[in-house]
């Protein structure tokens, strides 16, 4: 694949989404072709699956199947074509979220998730994953100030503590791919850390 694939991860309330938009704008101003997208979502089908995932009761296996079904559609229709055309793809969450939320958070079988991952994207991983890490109690305060909570946002601090540990485990397994950003910092410091991660790879001046 010719383009770069950058994913953004973290527990709900970590503040990653504003940085997806800011980085897209910054890279475009630097002359890069950028596709911004999100998971679950990014296609008509995947957005419908997202609505179901965020609203309707279901067990962890169903959640896992739906996020990977959404991901399959998203990869085929959006991510893979964009990368083949040399675009930089900024994706708000990808498979690390499944290992963190369904695996660590829900306690679902990691081997089954690894098998689904092999089916859906045997060869592809992000080139860089920015993990916006924040203490679950601090994230809860941020979420409370925001919108009506969905099925995941309604979970308690113990759930998000497990999700956070899930991200830590994913980072330990692929340290070269991950950059952990301390998301308790003021927004400007977080933004500088985002830029520094790309500069360190020579992707930005
Ligand atoms: P968002 O609010 O960051 O867009 O993410 C939507 C929710 O979906 C978030 O609470 C995390 C959850 N999610 C999973 O549980 N598994 C996944 O694989 C993905 C991509 C998201």
Q: How many angstroms separate the alpha carbon of residue 93 from the centre of ligand 1?
A: 7
Does residue 104's CB lie within 6 angstroms of at least one atom of ligand 1?
A: no
Does residue 101's CB lie within 6 angstroms of at least one atom of ligand 1?
A: yes
Does residue 74's CB lie within 6 angstroms of at least one atom of ligand 1?
A: no
Q: What is the pLDDT of residue 146?
A: 79
DSSP class of residue 87 equals P
Domains of the chain by start residue, with CATH: 4-200 (3.40.50.300)
The SS3 call for residue 146 is coil
The SS3 call for residue 37 is strand
DSSP class of residue 42 equals S
Q: How far is CA 118 from CA 55, 109, 112, in A?
A: 27, 15, 10
pTM (predicted TM-score): 0.98
Q: CA 120, 37, 60: angle at the middle one, nearest 5?
A: 50
Does residue 134's CB lie within 6 angstroms of at least one atom of ligand 1?
A: no
**Closest atom of ligand 1 relative to the 39 alpha carbon:** 20
Mean pLDDT of 143-162: 92
Q: What is the pLDDT of residue 148?
A: 87
Whether 72 has a pLDDT exceeding 90, the answer reads yes
């Amino acid at each position: 694949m010719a383009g770069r694939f950058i994913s953004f991860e973290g527990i709900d309330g970590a503040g990653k989404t504003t940085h997806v938009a800011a980085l897209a704008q910054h890279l475009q101003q630097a002359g890069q072709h950028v596709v911004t997208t999100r998971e679950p979502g990014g296609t008509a089908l995947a957005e419908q699956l997202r609505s179901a995932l965020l609203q309707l009761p279901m067990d962890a296996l169903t959640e896992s199947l739906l996020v990977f079904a959404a991901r399959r559609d998203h990869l085929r229709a959006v991510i893979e074509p964009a990368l083949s055309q040399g675009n930089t793809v900024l994706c708000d969450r990808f498979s690390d979220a499944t290992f963190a939320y369904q695996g660590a958070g829900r306690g679902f079988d990691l081997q089954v998730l690894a098998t689904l991952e092999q089916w859906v994207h045997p060869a592809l991983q992000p080139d860089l994953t920015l993990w916006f890490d924040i203490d679950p109690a601090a994230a809860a305060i941020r979420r409370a100030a925001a919108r009506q909570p969905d099925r995941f946002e309604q979970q308690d601090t113990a759930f998000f503590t497990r999700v956070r540990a899930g991200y830590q485990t994913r980072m330990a397994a692929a340290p070269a791919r991950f950059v952990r950003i301390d998301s308790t910092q003021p927004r400007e410091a977080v933004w500088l850390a985002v830029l520094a991660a790309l500069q360190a790879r020579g992707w930005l001046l």
